[in-house]
């Protein structure tokens, strides 16, 4: 109980508020982990799980570290949104004033479940999941934000340089 009191003082919250948050979190976690629902694991997902398991078991070869900036409660510098579908992807940021859209090339669009008449077992690497398309959306939005910062920095240097 003493650690909760010190944590609440550090976070600037009351002990009761901290205890309520921890209680709600424990209920959510219990609900998630107590499920008996079965899920189908596709071959690509199984291979990704094997890779992650290999990395986690070899900590000396693949040391894992993470910055702690995400732990500190603070407002973000900017927000960007994006989404992908079977035919294309797009993203925008009102804060950074960018908007982009890309239509997937035909050879990528044809590698979705929409065009397959086979079962999951027969895809043999020809399948591109929606998760991969969503990940590409994140990367493209990140590149757009990076470009905005580079252009802004260059303009600041040009305008301030005599």
Give the tens place of pLDDT for each residue, 100-150. 999 999 888 877 777 766 555 555 667 788 888 999 999 999 999 998 888
Report yes or no on 47 lying in a domain: no
Q: Do 32 and 94 have their domain in common?
A: no
pTM surpassing 0.75?
Answer: no
Residue 82 contacts residue 137 (beta carbons within 8 Å): yes
Report yes or no on 74 lying in a domain: no
Task: Let me know if 19 is exposed, middle or buried by CB neighbors in 10 A (0-12, 13-18, 19+).
Answer: middle
Report yes or no on 133 lying in a domain: yes
- The domain tally of the chain equals 2
Q: Do 87 and 25 have their domain in common?
A: no
Report yes or no on 44 lying in a domain: no
Report yes or no on 61 lying in a domain: no
Q: Do 26 and 86 have their domain in common?
A: no
For residue 9, give its domain range. 1-38
* Rounded-to-10 torsion of CA 44, 45, 48, 50: -100
State the DSSP H helix or E strand holding residue 61, giving kind and residue range, or none if neither.
none
Report yes or no on 96 lying in a domain: yes
């Amino acid at each position: 109980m003493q650690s909760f009191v010190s944590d609440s003082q550090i976070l600037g919250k009351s002990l009761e508020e901290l205890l309520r948050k921890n209680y709600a979190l424990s209920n959510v976690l219990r609900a998630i982990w107590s499920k008996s629902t079965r899920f189908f694991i596709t071959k690509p997902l199984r291979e990704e799980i094997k890779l992650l398991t290999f990395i986690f078991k070899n900590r000396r070869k693949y040391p894992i570290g993470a910055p702690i900036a995400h732990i500190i409660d603070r407002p973000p510098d900017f927000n960007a949104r994006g989404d992908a579908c079977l035919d294309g992807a797009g993203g925008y940021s009102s804060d950074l004033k960018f908007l982009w859209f890309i239509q997937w090339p035909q050879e990528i669009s044809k590698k979705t479940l929409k065009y397959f008449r086979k079962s999951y077992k027969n895809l043999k690497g020809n399948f591109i999941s929606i998760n991969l398309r969503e990940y590409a959306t994140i990367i493209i939005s990140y590149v757009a934000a990076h470009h905005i910062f580079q252009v802004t920095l260059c303009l600041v240097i040009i305008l301030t340089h005599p």
